[in-house]
Structure 1
C-alpha cells in the first residue's frame, strides 16, 4: 500500500508540473464548466414554452429545478470526461517513450494507471467542485433526506470515475493513438448517459447502452440524493449497478494490463522491449 501511495503521489506531482501549473489553466478549470452549463441551459430554455411539458417532465416546468438538473449533469460529466482527457495526455507518454521507462521500473502497473486517473481527476475538478457546492448551497436547490446522503452522492461519483479513468488508461497499451476516445466518449457519452436530457425521453436501445456507462448510474444517484431527497433505499438500484460496473471495470483493467504488456513484449510495440 505504501508503495502504491508513493506512485500515486509521484504521478499527481508530475501531472501538476506538466499540465496544471499555469494560472491560465486554473482559470479555464472554472470558466469552462460555467460556459458549458450556460450553453446547455439556454439551449434547453425554449422547452419551457412547450405545451404540456410540465406533465411529462415536471423539472422542465420550473427554471430553478431545470438549472439544478443540468448543473448536476454538467458536473458529473466533467468528472468523467476529465479522465478521457487524462487518457489522451497519457498517450503522449507512450509516444515520447516515458511509458516504456515506467513499465521497466518496479512500479505496479495497476498503480500507475490508477495514479494517472486519480491525479487528473483531483486536479481537474477541485475548483469546479468548490464552485458547485457554493452555488448549490446559495441557490437552495439541494433537497437531501439526511446528511449521510452527501457522502453517498460523493462516493457514487468519485469512485466510479476513478475506476473509469483507470480502465481507459489501460486501453493505451494496445494503441498509441487515443484520439478515438474523444470521438466515442464526448458527445455520445453525454447523450446516452442522460447528462442534458432525461433518460425516459430516450429510445429503449439508447437507455440500454447508457446503462453500460457508470456515468448514467452516478447521475441517477447524484440527482436522486441531492435534488429529489431520496433515501438510501431510493437509490439502491443505481448503487448496485455501479458496484457491478466498477467490479467489471477493475477486472477488465487488470486483464488488459497483463494482455497488453505481454503483447508489447512479443511484438516490440514499446520502444524498449
Structure 2
C-alpha cells in the first residue's frame, strides 16, 4: 500500500473513532455552536461597557465601534475554538492509557506521527466546521468583513488549519507520555486565550506576556486571520506572520516526532508509559 493511501486510511479511521466516541448525539453538534456563541456574547457584553466608559477607545479605535469590536472578538473565538478543540482531543487521547487501548498505538503498523496528526485533525474538523460557517456569515452581516481577494479566505483557513494540526500532534505526543494530563489541560485552557490575544489586542498586553504568547501558534494564527479578514491585508503584507507560523508548525511536528520516538523507546526498555 502506498504511503498516501495508508495515511488517508489512518485519517479516516481516527476521525470515525472520534466521531463515534465524542459526537454520537445530535445534542453534541448543537453544543458545538452554542458554547462558542455564549462565550462570545459573555465576552462582548463584559468588555463593551469598559471600552466605552474609559479612554481605551483612544488607544484602540476598534473598541469604539460595536460592529468592529464584535468582529474582533468573533475571530478570536473562532481561532480559540480551533486550538482548544485540540487541547480537548489530546486530553481525551490520554484517557486511552486507562482504558487499555493505548497499546494499540504501539502494536499498530500505522506511523506514530501519522496517528497523532490524524487524531488531532479528526477532532478539529468535527469541532470547528459549524463555528467557521457561523463566523463567516456573522462577519458578513456585521459589515466588518474586509478581504483583499476571495482566495485570501483559503489563506486564512490554512493559517488556522496547519498550525492547529501541528499543535494537536504535539499535544497528543506529549500527553501520551504524560502522567498528569489534568495539569497540562488546566494550564492550556484559560492561559491560552489570555496570552494569545483572543479577547484583547496584543499591544495591550505586558511585554512579558507578549513574549510568552509568541510561543503559541494561536497568536500568529490570530494575527493572520484578523489581518486578512478585518484589515484587507494581502499575502505579501502577512508574509512575516505566515513564515513564522510555518516555521513554528514545522518545529512542533519535529518535536512531536522526537517525543514519540524517545517515549516509545523508553516504553520498550522499561515497560513504563512515562518520559519521567
TM-score clears 0.5: yes
State the distance in 2 between where 1:130 and 1:152 align.
16
1:122 match: 125
1:79 and 1:121 in contact (8 A); partners too: yes
1:28: how far off? 0.7
State the distance in 2 between where 1:111 and 1:101 align.
14
1:136 match: 139
1:218 and 1:242 in contact (8 A); partners too: yes
Distance change (3 Å), C-alpha of 1:128 and 1:29: same
Runs of 4+ in structure 1 deviating by more than 3 angstroms, as ranges, are none
Select between 47-56 and 27-36 the one with higher mean Cα deviation: 47-56
Which residue, out of 12, 15, 18, partners 2:15?
12
1:111 match: 114
**Structure 2 residue 166 is the aligned partner of structure 1 residue 163:** yes
State the distance in 2 between where 1:269 and 1:68 align.
48
Q: CA RMSD in A?
A: 1.4
2:36 match: 33
TM-score (norm 1): 0.96
Unmatched segments (≥5 aa) in structure 2: none
3-state secondary structure, aligned to 2:102: helix
Select between 176-185 and 6-15 the one with higher mean Cα deviation: 176-185
1:205: how far off? 0.8
2:50 match: 47
- Show the 5 A alignment for 1:109-258: 109-258=112-261
1:82 match: 85
1:91 and 1:176 in contact (8 A); partners too: no
Unmatched segments (≥5 aa) in structure 1: none
State the distance in 2 between where 1:35 and 1:52 align.
27
Q: What is the count of residue pairs matched by the alignment?
A: 271
1:194 and 1:216 in contact (8 A); partners too: yes
1:181-219 deviation digits (Å, cap 9, x = unpaired) = 221111111111000011101111111111111000000
**Structure 2 residue 275 is the aligned partner of structure 1 residue 269:** no
Select between 18-27 and 217-226 the one with higher mean Cα deviation: 18-27
